[in-house]
DNA sequence: TGTACATCAGTGAACGCGCGTTCACTGATGTAC
DNA sequence: TGTACATCAGTGAACGCGCGTTCACTGATGTAC
C-alpha cells in the first residue's frame, strides 16, 4: 500500500485543524472548501478523500477543540478524581472569561464562536458541541461540593454564565459594554463557584 | 403621488416581519430574498425599493423584536420609573427561560436565535442586537436595589444567564440536558434577582 | 363628475458570481519479484 | 540490489445550482384640470 500508514491521518488532521480555525473566525457558511484545503496546504479536490461533505468536517472541527486547548484546561484543572484542584477551576473560569480569550478569534472555544451555526446544523455537529459543554460541566461539577445535591445545577449555571457572557461580549459592537458584560459574568461565576466549591478539596 | 402615504411603510413593515420570522427560524445565510418576499406576499424584485441590501433588512428584523414581544415584556415589567413592578421582572425571567420560549422558533428573542450570525454581520446589525441587550439590562437594573452599587453588574449577569442558558439549550441535541441547563440557569437567575431586588419596590 | 396624466410600488426575467461536489487523471510511494 | 507494478492520495478542470442584485417594464393610484 502506497503512502505510509499515518500519512493519510496526518493530512486529515491538518484539514481538521484548518477547518477549526477558519470556522471559528468566519462561521460555517463563509468558509469554503477551497479556503480550508488551501490553509491545509492542499487543493480542493482532495477534500472528499477525507470527508463525506462540509458538515462532516464541521462536526470534527468543533469536537477537535477538546483535543487541543480543551484538553489543556482539563489537565490543568485535574481530570484525576483523586487529585482535584478546585483553585485551577477558578483559573479556568478566569481564562474563559478573559479579555485574551475574547480576542482570540482562532483559538477560542467553539461554543462561543459558533452557537447559532451549530444549532442549525446536523445532529452530528450538535453532538460535537454537546461534547464540549459536557466536558466543561463535568469539570466544574467534580470540583463543587458533592455533598450538596446542587453541585450539578451550579455547574450548569457556571457554564451558562461563561458561554453566555462571552457570546454576548463577542456580539456587542460597543467594546466597553462587552467588557462590562464579561466582567459581570466573571464576578457572578466566581461567586457561585466560591459559595459551592468543595472546600475539603481546597489546598490548605 | 400615487399610493397612499402609509402604503409603502406598511409594505415595508410586512417585509421586516417576514424577515424577522424567517431569520429567527433559519439563520441569516439560509434565508433568501425570495423567501422573505414570498412570506410577505410580494415578489423578489421589489425588495430593493425598500432596503439597500439583505443585511439592512437583517438589522431591522433584529431590532423590530423590541417593538413586538420586547415591548410587551417591557410594558408588563414597567418602564415607568414611578411604577416599577419587580415581581413582573421575575415573571419575565420565567418567560425568557421557559420551555415555551425555547420551542417558539418564530417568536423567540433574536439574541438567542442569532448570536453568531450577528457577531459576523455589519455594525448596524450588531447595533440592533445591542439594543435588545440594552433594553433587557435596563429593565433588570431599574428593578434591582439601586442603593447597592452592584445593581448594574447583577443586571448584566442576569442577562448573561438568560441568554447563555437559552443559547445552550437551543443548541444541545439532548433535550433532557437542554432542559437541565435551562432550569439551572433559571434557578441561578432567580437567586441573583431575589438577593438583589429593590425590596422597597416590592408590593406589600 | 369625469378623464388624462404622472408617479412609483411591484413584477419577473436575466445577470454574474461563487461554491459544494464530481471526476478523469497524475504521480508518489510501498511491495513483489 | 534493482525494477516493474499496483494503489490511492492529491490535482484541477468542470458541472450544476442557487442566490443577491439589477433592470426594463407594468399597472394601480392620486392629482390636475
**Looking at the complex, does the CB of residue A190 fall below 8 Å from at least one CB of chain B?**
no
Report the CATH fold assignment for A5-61. Answer: Arc Repressor Mutant, subunit A (1.10.10)
- Name the nucleotide nearest A7; use CA and C1': D9
Strand C and A5 CB separated by under 7 Å = no
What is the pLDDT, as a whole number, of residue B204?
A: 42
Using the predicted structure, report yes or no on whether residue B55 has a pLDDT greater than 60: yes
Strand C and B11 CB separated by under 7 Å = yes
Q: How many angstroms separate the CA atoms of A63 and A126, rounded?
A: 10
- CA-to-CA dists, residue B76 to A173, B41, B81, B86, B186, angstroms: 28, 33, 13, 10, 19
Chain A's closest residue to B111, CA to CA, is A168
What is the pLDDT, as a whole number, of residue B69?
A: 77
| Mean pLDDT value across residues B147-160 | 92
Q: Which of B80, B64, B90 is nearest to B162 (CA)?
A: B90
Taking contacts as CB-CB distances below 8 angstroms, the residues of chain B near A180 are 152-153, 156
Q: How is residue B132 written as a grid cell?
A: 435588545
What is the pLDDT, as a whole number, of residue B199?
A: 64
Domain locations in chain B as residue ranges: 5-61, 69-201
Q: Which of A84, A1, A14, A2 is nearest to A51 (CA)?
A: A14
Asked whether the beta carbons of residue A168 and residue B133 sit closer than 8 angstroms, the reply is yes
Q: Where is mean pLDDT largest: A190-199, B41-50, B86-95?
A: B41-50
Using the predicted structure, report yes or no on whether residue B80 has a pLDDT greater than 60: no
Range in A200-204, B8-12, B153-157 with the lowest mean pLDDT = A200-204
Q: Is-contact A120 B112, C-beta < 8 A?
A: no
* Residue in this structure with the C-alpha cell 437567586, named with its chain if needed: B191
What are the DSSP E strand ranges found in chain A? none
- CA-to-CA dists, residue B62 to A120, A168, A180, B24, B57, angstroms: 18, 15, 22, 9, 9
Chain A's closest residue to B157, CA to CA, is A185
pLDDT in tens, B92-135: 999 999 999 999 999 999 999 999 999 999 999 999 999 999 99
Average pLDDT, chain A: 91
Q: Which of B90, B157, B101 is nearest to A157 (CA)?
A: B157
What residues of chain B, 40 to 99, have a C-beta less than 8 Å from chain A? none
Q: How many angstroms away from the CA of A153 is the closest CA of chain B?
A: 5
| Mean pLDDT value across residues B40-60 | 97
DSSP class of residue B81 equals: G
DSSP class of residue B148 equals: S
Report the CATH fold assignment for A69-201. Answer: Tetracycline Repressor; domain 2 (1.10.357)
Q: How is residue A27 written as a grid cell?
A: 462561521
- Name the nucleotide nearest A34; use CA and C1': C19
Strand D and A7 CB separated by under 7 Å = yes
Taking contacts as CB-CB distances below 8 angstroms, the residues of chain B near A185 are 156-157, 160, 164
Asked whether the beta carbons of residue A116 and residue B113 sit closer than 8 angstroms, the reply is yes
Say how far A25 CA is from D11 C1', in Å. 27
**Strand C bases, protein C-beta under 7 A:** 6-14, 18-24, 27-31
pLDDT in tens, A160-184: 999 999 999 999 999 999 999 999 9
Q: Which of A167, A109, A170, A104 is nearest to A136 (CA)?
A: A109
Q: How confident is the model at residue A199 (pLDDT cuts 50, 70, 90)?
A: low
What is the pLDDT, as a whole number, of residue B198?
A: 66
Using the predicted structure, report yes or no on whether residue A20 has a pLDDT greater than 80: yes
Using the predicted structure, report yes or no on whether residue B170 has a pLDDT greater than 60: yes
Asked whether the beta carbons of residue B159 and residue A168 sit closer than 8 angstroms, the reply is yes
Range in A17-21, A133-137, A192-196, B18-22 with the lowest mean pLDDT = A192-196
Asked whether the beta carbons of residue B116 and residue A113 sit closer than 8 angstroms, the reply is yes
Q: At what angle do helices A86-96 and A69-77 cross, to 10 degrees?
A: 150
What is the pLDDT, as a whole number, of residue A105?
A: 97
Q: How many angstroms separate the CA atoms of A181 and B188, rounded?
A: 17
Asked whether the beta carbons of residue B171 and residue A126 sit closer than 8 angstroms, the reply is yes
What is the pLDDT, as a whole number, of residue A76?
A: 67
Asked whether the beta carbons of residue A163 and residue B162 sit closer than 8 angstroms, the reply is no
Q: How confident is the model at residue B82 (pLDDT cuts 50, 70, 90)?
A: low
pLDDT in tens, A106-136: 999 999 999 999 999 999 999 999 999 999 9
| Mean pLDDT value across residues A92-111 | 97
Q: How is residue A194 written as a grid cell?
A: 466560591
At B144, give phi and psi (nearest 5°).
-95, 170
Q: How confident is the model at residue B178 (pLDDT cuts 50, 70, 90)?
A: very high
What is the pLDDT, as a whole number, of residue B14?
A: 98
Q: Which of residues 38-77 of B touch strand C (CB under 7 A)?
A: 42-46, 49-50
- Name the nucleotide nearest A50; use CA and C1': D9
Query: Which of B184, B185, B193 would you mutate first to test chain A, the one with the most A CBs within 10 A?
Result: B184
A157 vs A85, more confident: A157
Say how far A32 CA is from C17 C1', in Å. 15
Q: Which of B107, B131, B99 is nearest to B118 (CA)?
A: B131
Average pLDDT, chain B: 91
Asked whether the beta carbons of residue A184 and residue B119 sit closer than 8 angstroms, the reply is no
Using the predicted structure, report yes or no on whether residue A91 has a pLDDT greater than 50: yes
What is the pLDDT, as a whole number, of residue B156?
A: 98
Q: Which of A162, B99, B186 is nearest to B194 (CA)?
A: B186
Strand C and A3 CB separated by under 7 Å = yes
* Residue in this structure with the C-alpha cell 417576514, named with its chain if needed: B18
What is the pLDDT, as a whole number, of residue A204?
A: 42
Q: Is-contact A11 A50, C-beta < 8 A?
A: yes
Chain B's closest residue to A179, CA to CA, is B156
Amino acid at each position: 500500500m502506497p503512502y505510509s500508514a499515518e500519512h493519510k491521518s496526518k493530512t486529515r488532521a491538518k484539514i481538521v485543524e484548518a477547518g477549526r480555525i477558519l470556522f471559528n473566525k468566519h462561521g460555517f457558511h463563509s468558509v469554503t472548501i477551497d479556503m480550508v484545503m488551501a490553509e491545509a496546504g492542499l487543493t480542493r479536490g482532495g477534500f472528499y478523500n477525507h470527508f463525506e461533505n462540509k458538515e462532516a468536517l464541521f462536526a470534527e472541527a468543533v469536537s477537535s477543540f477538546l483535543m487541543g486547548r480543551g484538553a489543556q484546561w482539563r489537565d490543568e484543572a485535574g481530570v484525576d478524581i483523586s487529585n482535584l484542584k478546585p483553585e485551577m477551576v477558578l483559573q479556568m473560569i478566569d481564562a474563559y472569561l478573559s479579555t485574551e480569550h475574547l480576542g482570540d478569534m482562532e483559538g477560542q472555544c467553539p461554543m462561543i464562536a459558533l452557537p447559532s451555526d451549530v444549532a442549525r446544523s446536523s445532529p452530528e455537529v450538535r453532538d460535537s458541541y454537546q461534547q464540549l459543554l459536557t466536558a466543561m460541566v463535568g469539570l466544574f461539577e467534580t470540583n463543587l461540593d458533592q455533598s450538596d445535591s446542587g453541585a450539578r445545577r451550579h455547574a450548569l449555571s457556571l457554564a451558562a454564565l461563561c458561554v453566555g457572557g462571552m457570546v454576548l461580549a463577542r456580539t456587542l459592537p460597543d467594546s466597553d459594554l462587552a467588557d462590562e458584560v464579561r466582567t459581570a459574568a466573571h464576578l457572578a461565576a466566581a461567586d457561585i463557584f466560591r459559595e459551592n466549591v468543595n472546600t475539603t478539596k481546597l489546598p490548605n
